[in-house]
Amino acid sequence: MRVILFTGKGGVGKTSVAAATGVRAAELGYKTLVMSLDPAHSLSDSFDLDRKLMDRGKGLPVQVGERLWIQEVDVQEEIHRYWGEIYKYIASLFSISGIEEIVAEELAILPGMEEVSCILYINQYVREKAFDVMLLDCAPTGESLRFVSLPTTLEWYMNRIFKIERKVAKVAGPILRGIYSVPVPHDDYFEAVERLYERLKGVDEYLGDPALTSVRLVTNPEKMVLKESQRAFMYFCLYGLCVDAVIMNRVLPSEVRDDYFARWRATQERYIEEAKSYFAPVPILSVPLADDEVLGVPDLRVLARNIYGDNDPSKSFMSERPYRFSKENGVYKVRVKLPFLSKEDVDLAKSGDELIIRIGNFKRHVVLPRSMVGREPSGAKLDGDVLTVTFEQKSEPQP
C-alpha cells in the first residue's frame, strides 16, 4: 500500500496534480482513493463533477471511475460521527461567554478537527487495506505541517496531561459545578477523547515509513513560492517524512518564444536552477503550463502524462531523507547525505536561516529550523557519504 501527500503553497495546482496522479494510478490497475484534506474542497471541481454527487456522499468516498474514488471530508458530518461529547462541551464554553447559541456552535469547530477526522479515515483504510494507493490533497503548507504533527502532539497530550485532567475533573468537578458557571467536562467528554486517541494509534508509524508514505511538494518557478516550498521541505524532513519528488508546475513550454514571455522564461529558468540546489538529490519533475484550465478526466490524464511520462506514479522516487536534524547532549546537528564527497572539497557557510554547502561548482542550501538559526556551525565531520555539521550557541561579545 502507498500513501502520498501532495502539498504546497495555495494556488500552485496541487489539487489538479493529486487528481491527475489518481487517474493514472487507477488506469494502472490500483484501487485508488484521492482524499481532500483542504477545508476549501476543490477536488470534485477538478474532476468537473456535479456538486450534488458529493453532497449525497456526506463526506464518504464516492466512486468516480473504474478503481477510482474521491473523498471530501465534511467536518459537520464528522462531528456527529466522532466528536459528539467534545463538540458539545466546547460549544457550551462559548455559550456561557454570551455568544449566541448558533454562533457558539460554529466557533466550536476548532482548528485541527478536520485534520484529525482525515487521519481517522486514513488509519482506518490502512488497517483494513481498503485501497492500494491513497493520495492526499493537503491544505496549504502550514496546515499540512499541522496535519503531520498532530499524532505526535496528541500522544504527548494523552501521556502527560490527559490522565491528570481526568482525575482533577472527577474529584473537583462536583464542587466546581456548584460554585462556578463555567462547565466542567463530564466523564463522557474524556471517554470520547480516549476513543479518538485509540482510533489514531499507529498512524505515526506508517507516516514515517518511507516505503509506505512519502510527500510530493508542488511548487512553481517563482521566488515566493519556491521559498515556502524550501521551508516546507525542511519541516517535513524535521518531522521524519520522506519527500520523494518536487513537482515544478506551470513551466512555460519550450515552444513559447514570444517576446512578451521572454522575461518570464528567464526568471523561470533561473529559479528552476536554484531549485536543484535546494532539493537535490530529490528529483524535480517539470510540468509545462497547460494551454487551458485542467478540468475533467481527459485533461487530468494528459496532465499525469506530462508529470510522470511512462513511470508508475505510485512508486517511490526516493526512499530516504536527504538530511536529518537532531539534538544530542545539548549539541544541534545536521546530517546531509552527499555521495562521492571528500572533505577537501567541502566549504561551509551560514547566511541567515540557511546553511550553505559548497562542493566545487555545486552549492547546496539547507534551511535550518528556528531553534538552530541563532547558532553558528562549530564543526563538520564526514563519515562515509554523510556530512555531519554541528552548531553551538553564539557567544556573547566581550565588553
Count of CB atoms situated within 10 Å of the CB of 385: 11
Query: Band of the pLDDT at 180, cuts 50, 70, 90?
Result: low
C-alpha 331, offset from chain centre: 28
Q: What are the residues facing 152 on neighbouring strands?
A: none
**Of 65-74, 89-98, 227-236, which has the strongest mean pLDDT?**
65-74
Q: What is the mean pLDDT of residues 275-286?
A: 88
If phi > 0 it is left, if psi is from -120 to 50 it is alpha, else beta; for residue 134 that is: beta
- pLDDT of 338 > 50? The answer is yes
Q: What is the mean pLDDT of residues 340-364?
A: 73
Considering only residues 248 and 143, tell me which one the structure prediction assigns the higher pLDDT: 248
**pLDDT averaged over every residue in the chain:** 81
d(CA 164, CA 158): 10
Q: Quote the pLDDT of residue 214.
A: 93
Q: At 179, which helix (H) or strand (E)?
A: helix 163-179
Closest CA to 22 of 303, 223, 226: 303
% of the chain surpassing 90 pLDDT: 33
Grid cell locating 86: 467534545
Residues in Cβ contact with 5 at an 8 Å cutoff, skipping those fewer than 6 apart: 136, 138, 144, 148, 213, 214, 215, 216, 241
Q: Tell me, what amino acid is at 342?
A: S
Query: Band of the pLDDT at 163, cuts 50, 70, 90?
Result: confident
Grid cell locating 374: 541563532
- pLDDT of 193 > 80? The answer is no
Q: Give the DSSP per-residue string, 203-267.
A: HHHHHT-TTTEEEEEEE-SSHHHHHHHHHHHHHHHHTT--EEEEEEEEEPPTT---GGGHHHHHH
Residue 283, SS3 per DSSP: coil
Q: Quote the pLDDT of residue 108.
A: 46
Does domain 2-308 match CATH 3.40.50.11610? no
Q: Quote the pLDDT of residue 225.
A: 94
b/e code 149-165 from CB counts within 10 Å (16+ = b): ebbeebeeebeeebeee
Could you check whether 2-308 and 323-393 share the same CATH topology?
no
Q: What is the mean pLDDT of residues 246-260?
A: 91
Q: What is the mean pLDDT of residues 284-295?
A: 94
DSSP type of residue 172? H
Query: Band of the pLDDT at 177, cuts 50, 70, 90?
Result: low
Lowest mean pLDDT, pick from 18-27, 64-73, 85-94, 132-141: 85-94
Q: Which pTM does this prediction carry? A: 0.78
Q: Are 275 and 227 in contact (CB under 8 A)?
A: no
- pLDDT of 227 > 70? The answer is yes
CB-side exposure of 128: number of CA atoms within 13 Å?
Answer: 10
Summarize pLDDT for 372-387 with one digit per residue, the tens: 888 888 888 888 778 8
Residue 121, SS3 per DSSP: helix
Residue 281: asked if its preceding bond is cis (omega within 30°), the reply is: yes
Count of CB atoms situated within 10 Å of the CB of 307: 24
d(CA 393, CA 399): 18
Residue 147, SS3 per DSSP: helix
- pLDDT of 57 > 70? The answer is yes
d(CA 107, CA 254): 50
Q: What is the mean pLDDT of residues 172-201?
A: 67
C-alpha 119, offset from chain centre: 12
Lowest mean pLDDT, pick from 150-154, 225-229, 250-254: 150-154
Query: Band of the pLDDT at 174, cuts 50, 70, 90?
Result: low
Instruction: Give domain limits for the chain.
Output: 2-308, 323-393
CATH fold group of domain 323-393: Immunoglobulin-like (2.60.40)
Length of the chain: 399
Q: Are 26 and 32 in contact (CB under 8 A)?
A: yes
Count of CB atoms situated within 10 Å of the CB of 187: 12
Q: Quote the pLDDT of residue 336.
A: 83
Q: At 348, which helix (H) or strand (E)?
A: strand 346-351
Query: Band of the pLDDT at 340, cuts 50, 70, 90?
Result: low
Q: Quote the pLDDT of residue 350.
A: 84
Residue 362, SS3 per DSSP: strand
Q: Quote the pLDDT of residue 107.
A: 47
Residue 182, SS3 per DSSP: coil
Q: Are 34 and 135 in contact (CB under 8 A)?
A: yes
CA dihedral sign of residues 90, 95, 101, 107: negative
Residue 209, SS3 per DSSP: coil
